[in-house]
Amino acid sequence: MRIDVFSIFPEYLAPLELSLIGKARQDGILDLQVHNLRDFTTDRHRTVDDSPYGGGAGMVMKPEPWALALESVLPAVGQGTPRRPARTPSDSLAPAKPILIVPSPAGEVFDQALAYELAEEKHLVFACGRYEGIDERVLEWAAGTGSTGTGSDGIDPTSTGSDGPFRVRAVSLGDYVLNGGEVAVLAMVEAIGRLLPGVVGNPESLVEESHADGLLEYPVYTKPSSWRGRGIPDVLLSGNHAKIAGFRREEQLRRTVERRPDLIDALDPTILTKAELAT
């Protein structure tokens, strides 16, 4: 998988050189490049922001550097462009567009299902906003949607077609506001990257964890078996694999009901046994 991240603070993304994601980069599983948005400015001061139209607090990220930055990672037409399998004769040569992920507290909330979905992609591009965010026309241009009026440069956005160079997703880390998109990108890249084949040593650990099947994980314990007066559940020492699996399943359900009843409401009922459905 290829990932490009654009930020005015590329140093913020340094943790992506560490641990499993850093190793995945070294092993060639993940081709991850971090770019400085200011390298795509054209003025002496490397300006990336300006005051908002309509007034109000804060600054807004200018569209020009964003467009140049995002264009720089688009595949050159006809050159090594990955192709999607043909669906209809008319789109048989359609290239797979990269997904542009714009972190935003006003986006869809990132979750494990979205991490799995994005882990199937070949090319993700992350655009880290700062200040009050990125001029909305960048997202419209990237997606090929929108018609926010005719610009004073005389270009009618509606006449440029409805098909932009990216598939655009505004994605939120949760219902709170961060200072910039970098922390959100760190979290998303780690969640997506660990799902790529070969990144996590034992793929079984991806199956047995929280949110894999809509439930939270059961509690885990290690040696010593007695610590500060606390033991571990006897069943874990029984060697009876069926009983251990049963205990863990009960704990998953108990925890999820207790801590995240919203997950129970959203659960696919087919993953529950008849007995579990009855309780």
Query: Does 184 contact ligand SAM by CB under 6 A?
Result: yes
Which one of 181, 186, 193, 253 is in contact with ligand SAM (CB under 6 A)? Answer: 181
Query: Does 111 contact ligand SAM by CB under 6 A?
Result: no
Would the annotation count 196 as a binding residue?
A: no
Query: Does 51 contact ligand SAM by CB under 6 A?
Result: no
Query: Does 133 contact ligand SAM by CB under 6 A?
Result: yes
Catalogue the E-assigned strands of the chain.
Answer: 2-7, 31-36, 49-50, 60-61, 99-109, 123-127, 167-172
- Per DSSP, the residues of 55-69 read --SS-EE-HHHHHHH
Query: Does 178 contact ligand SAM by CB under 6 A?
Result: yes
Query: Does 57 contact ligand SAM by CB under 6 A?
Result: no
Angle at 88 between CA 86 and CA 90, to 5 degrees: 100
Would the annotation count 173 as a binding residue?
A: yes
Query: Under DSSP, is residue 21 helix (H, G, I), strand (E, B) or coil?
Result: helix
User: Smallest gap, in angstroms, from Cβ of residue 256 to ligand SAM?
Assistant: 24
Kindly state the number of chain residues that form the binding site for ligand SAM, as judged by CB under 6 A. Answer: 19
Of 43-51, 116-124, 166-174, 259-267, which segment contacts ligand SAM by CB under 6 A?
166-174
Query: Does 10 contact ligand SAM by CB under 6 A?
Result: no
Cα 37–chain centre separation: 20
Residue among 169, 109, 94 at smallest CA distance from 139? 169
Query: Does 105 contact ligand SAM by CB under 6 A?
Result: yes
Residue among 50, 22, 47, 49 at smallest CA distance from 34? 22
Would the annotation count 111 as a binding residue?
A: no
Residue among 26, 261, 9 at smallest CA distance from 129? 9
Identify the helix (H) or strand (E) that includes residue 255: helix 241-259
Would the annotation count 237 as a binding residue?
A: no
**Tokens for 9?**
């603070």
Would the annotation count 231 as a binding residue?
A: no
Of 98-106, 137-145, 153-161, 252-260, which segment contacts ligand SAM by CB under 6 A?
98-106
Of 6-14, 128-136, 196-204, 271-279, which segment contacts ligand SAM by CB under 6 A?
128-136
Would the annotation count 20 as a binding residue?
A: no
CB nearer to ligand SAM: give 106 or 242.
Answer: 106
Task: Report whether 48 contacts 61 (CB < 8 A).
Answer: yes
Task: Report whether 210 contacts 216 (CB < 8 A).
Answer: yes
CB nearer to ligand SAM: give 63 or 105.
Answer: 105
Identify the helix (H) or strand (E) that includes residue 237: none
Neighbour tally for 21: CB within 10 Å = 23
Query: Does 190 contact ligand SAM by CB under 6 A?
Result: no
Indicate the annotated binding residues: 129, 173-178
Which residues are known binding-site members for S-adenosyl-L-methionine? 129, 173-178
Binding residues vs ligand SAM (CB under 6 A):
103-106, 128-130, 132-133, 172-174, 176-181, 184
